[in-house]
Amino acid sequence: MHQRIGSYRIERVLAEGGMGLVYKGRHESLSRDAAIKTLLPKDAGDAALRQRLLREAQAQARLQHPNIVSVYDLIDEKGELFIAMELVEGGTLEALLQQRPHGRLPLAEGLPLFEQVLGALEFVHGERIVHRDVKPSNVIVCGSRVKLADFGIALLGDLPRMTASMHLVGSPPYMSPEQLEGKRVDHRTDIYSAALVLYRILAGRPPFEAKEYLAQVQERVAGPPALRALVPELSSGFCDALAVALRYDREQRFASVAAFREALREGAAGFLFQEAKTVETPAVAAEVPAEPLVIAPEPEPRSAVAVVAFVIAGAFLAAVAVLTRQLDRQPFPVAAPPQKLTSMTPPPLPIILEAPAPAPSPVRPEPEKRLAAEQPAVKKKPREDEEQRGLVSDALREVEALRQQVQLGLKAAEAEIETRAREAEEALWASRLQDIENELRAERWPEAKRFATRLANDPRAPEAVVARANALLQQAEDGLKDALKDIQFGPTTNTSRKPSSPPRKDR
């Protein structure tokens, strides 16, 4: 362990993770404690991780906000980078939730904490930065104060993007659909991830739990389980606002963090959600980057959920049309006497049939004449039964047709989900191959060789991708050999060699 780093005296190790190490240090001149973050010793020479640590310092250094961890200094000591930042005495939001009964917080306690996360993100987006890794373990809770941390993979609008690291950037359980599919991201990506954090706070469980990549994509298409089914005491307006932030298509989410926060507040107060709030233009320029970080976002195909909704809506309208046609028919007259049911008479059905209205009679006929008047009606009964059976058959055929339409819609939805997942996987492999080709064009042979070797040995990669990766690997090795040929080595002469001894005389 380091004893000193710059002007800081190292006291102990605070935390150690898979990609970093954090010390507790004290600035001897300023008498101020600090958290000092660096890479693990085994990763100290990794250029990509070093660049990521530098990007984290650049992102956080410009963010002075009460809900964001502040950066004090960037120290380069003997080629090793250290970030000295604000020391926050507290634990992560994930640790806090694990300590609570059922792993969740009530709305009255969880919403004020979450609003501080939204305040931090609103400020971050105003600086044209996308965090890209909003999750409970990156939120530090100190009493009633919340601090957003870890800007290691943040996207800065005024700096060039880093070369992809051949892996998905972020934490899969809290990734947006566009992150999983390797598409460009913007501030609405953080809104989606923040909504997943709120879901975790209130439900006591992560909204998505799949481990395989294709299953993760399918989860985003289908959406998380309804929050109100897990927490019935939540209002419908609040749950509707959260559902808008979790929409698959980012164009249909909230336009800004401020709009999301306002909808949550109104929903918690008991107001119904108003859809018009999702398309309002923010009044304050700092709520959304002045220049969107996404240039010409690609159009999103219609989701599988929309296909199913369209089919079900069509089936419902068709059923309403059938019922309307039946209701438009003239009912039996009230004055008609009921017919006695026999073993040959079918039970009455809930369908209104046509029947001629009897002529009004001012004088009540005698019993013999009434029987004679009823005789024609008895003769018409077989025809009426036949018409009734025909109507029932028509209704059953229409219901069967609607059922088949619904089944076709469900099959189409499943096919669309599979197609979207397959396209996303193909885009991911193509992106990884493109990164290798970019390294080759820049003549960064070692990086290209390392990336190509990793991809060629990936057991999940298709055969065509492996073949292409091997071809690029050969190009990287050839380029590396040519680069080594250009290095000139001078002759080596040993000037310190002792002179040979004289021949020994024979005794």
The pairing of strands 32-38 and 21-27 is antiparallel
Query: Which residue matches tokens 């605070």?
Result: 14
Q: What is the DSSP letter of 19?
A: S
| Count of residues making up the chain | 507
DSSP label of 146: E
* CA-wise closest residue to 201 among 141, 142, 149: 141
DSSP characters for 450-461? HHHHHHHT-TTS
Residue ranges of alpha helices (H) inside 127-174 are none
Query: How far is it, in rounded angstroms, from Cα 41 to Cα 20?
Result: 9
Catalytic annotation, pick one of 73, 133, 482, 506: 133
Q: What CATH number is given for 91-293 in this structure?
A: 1.10.510.10
pLDDT at 235: 95
CATH fold of 4-85: Phosphorylase Kinase; domain 1 (3.30.200)
Q: How far apart are alpha carbons 283 and 397 in whole angstroms? A: 55
Q: So what's the pLDDT on residue 439? A: 82
- Pseudo-torsion of CA 502, 503, 506, 507, nearest 10°? 20
- One digit per residue, pLDDT tens: the chain, 507 residues? 788 999 999 999 988 876 688 999 999 899 999 999 999 888 888 888 888 888 888 888 889 999 999 999 999 888 889 999 999 988 999 999 999 999 999 999 999 999 999 999 999 999 999 999 999 999 999 988 999 998 888 887 654 444 444 455 568 899 999 999 988 899 999 999 999 999 999 999 999 989 898 899 999 999 999 999 999 999 999 999 999 999 999 999 999 999 999 999 999 998 888 775 444 434 333 333 333 333 333 334 444 444 445 445 555 555 545 454 544 444 434 444 444 444 444 444 444 444 445 555 555 555 555 545 555 544 555 667 777 778 888 888 888 888 888 888 888 877 877 787 787 788 788 878 988 988 888 888 888 888 889 889 988 889 899 999 999 999 988 888 887 776 655 555 555 555 556 666 554
| The pLDDT value given to residue 441 | 87
Question: How are beta strands 32-38 and 4-5 bridged, if at all?
Answer: unpaired
Q: Is 133 a catalytic residue?
A: yes
139 alpha-carbon distance from chain centroid: 18
Kindly report the number of other CB atoms within 10 A of residue 491's CB atom. 4
- The helix/strand/coil state of 21 is strand
d(CA 276, CA 263) in angstroms, rounded, equals 11
* β-bridge mates for residue 91, sequence order: 141
> What does DSSP assign to residue 270?
T
Q: How many CB atoms lie within 10 A of CB 218?
A: 18
d(CA 266, CA 264): 6
Q: Residue for token digits 């890479």?
A: 39
User: 10 Å Cβ neighbour count for 90?
Assistant: 14
pLDDT recorded at residue 283: 34
